[in-house]
Amino acid sequence: MTENVVVKRDKEIVVVFLNRPASFNAFDYDTISAFSSLLLTLTVDDTVRGVVISGKGKAFCAGGDVKWMIEYTDGPAKGIHKLAASYHQSIIEIRRMPKPVIAAINGIAAGGGFSLALACDFRVMSCSAVLRQTYTSNGLCPDGGGTFTLPRMVGLARALEIMAFDVPISSEQALSWGLVTRVVDDGHALSESVKMAHELAKTSLSSFAWSKQLLTDSFDSALEAHLERERTAICSCADSTEGKEGLKAFKEKRKPVYMTE
C-alpha cells in the first residue's frame, strides 16, 4: 500500500484517505492503483460493514494529476488511458460493493474527485466545500461515471448545464439539487460520515446490497426483466441470516438485531 492512500479502522467501519494534500489529493497512477486494490479487498472483507472515503488536508480530491498526465512518456492521451483503467475499476467497485460507501467531502471535489464523490452511495459535505466538474474547462469530457451518475441525480438538462458552464457548486446548491445527502459545519464531514456509516452498519447489509444493486441497474432494465430480478433478490434476502432475523423480529414485535457488538 502506497503512503498516498491511508487507512483508518473504526470498529466495523474503514475510513480511506487520499493522502496527497500538496496536490489537493489528485491521483497519479500509483495512488489510484493502490486505491482500486484496496477497494477490492474491502469488498470481500466480511468484517467491514461500511466504507468512508475522504481526503487529507484541505481537499477531498482534485481528480487526476494533470502534471502526471502531461509528463507521461507516451503523451497525455495514453497517460489518461492508463490512469482511467484503475480509476474506472474503483468506480465499478464502489457501485458494486455490497455495503455502504460514503464520501466525506471535506474540501473541493473537482474533476475525477467530483465523479468519485457522485459514485458513492451517500455524500456528506462541509459547508465551505465546493463541487466542480472542471473537465470541460480543460478541454476534456468527464470520466469516472460522471456522465452516468450526474443526469440520474439532477436530470439531463441540468447535467448538461453543469458540464457546459462549469460553475462551482456550493454546498447549499449541491444539497438543493440532491447532489449531497447532508451539509455539515466545516471540520465535521468526516465524523458525520463515520457516524452515518455506523448507523447503516446496524441495518441489514443483505437488504442494502440488493437494494443498491437493483437501483443501480434499474435505468437499464426492461420492466419484466427488472421485476424478475426483484423477485430473485427478495427471495435471496429472505433466505439470508439477516432476512430470517428481520422476519422473526417482525413476528415477535421487536427490533431486529443484525450486528453483534
Residue 51 DSSP one-character state: E
Contact (Cβ atoms closer than 8 angstroms) between residue 197 and residue 97: no
Q: What are 134's three cell numbers?
A: 472542471
pLDDT at position 1: 60
Q: Is the dihedral angle over the CA atoms 261, 244, 120, 187 positive or is it negative?
A: negative
Contacts for 22 with CB less than 8 Å, ≥ 6 apart: 57
Phi, psi of 108 (to 5 degrees): -60, 135
Q: pTM for this one?
A: 0.96
pLDDT of amino acid 2: 79
The per-residue pLDDT string of the chain (261 residues; one tens digit each, 9 = 90 and over) reads 679 999 999 999 999 999 999 999 999 999 999 999 999 999 999 999 999 999 999 999 999 999 999 999 999 999 999 999 999 999 999 999 999 999 999 999 999 999 999 999 999 999 999 999 999 999 999 999 999 999 999 999 999 999 999 999 999 999 999 999 999 999 999 999 999 999 999 999 999 999 999 999 998 889 999 999 999 999 999 999 999 999 999 999 999 999 765
pLDDT of residue 261: 53
Find out whether 89 and 95 touch, Cβ atoms under 8 Å: no
State residue 260's pLDDT score: 62
Residue ranges with strand state E in 86-226: 101-105, 108-110, 122-126, 130-132, 169-170, 182-184
Residues in the chain, how many?
261
**pLDDT of the residue at 140:** 95
Q: What is the pLDDT of residue 222?
A: 95
What is the C-alpha to C-alpha distance for residues 239 and 233, in angstroms, rounded to an integer?
A: 10
Query: Which CATH number does 5-201 carry?
Result: 3.90.226.10
For position 208, what pLDDT does the model report? 97
Exposure string of 49-67, with b = 16+ CB inside 10 Å and e = fewer, is bbbbbbbbbebbbbbbbbe
Name the residue ranges covered by the structural domains of the chain. 5-201, 205-251
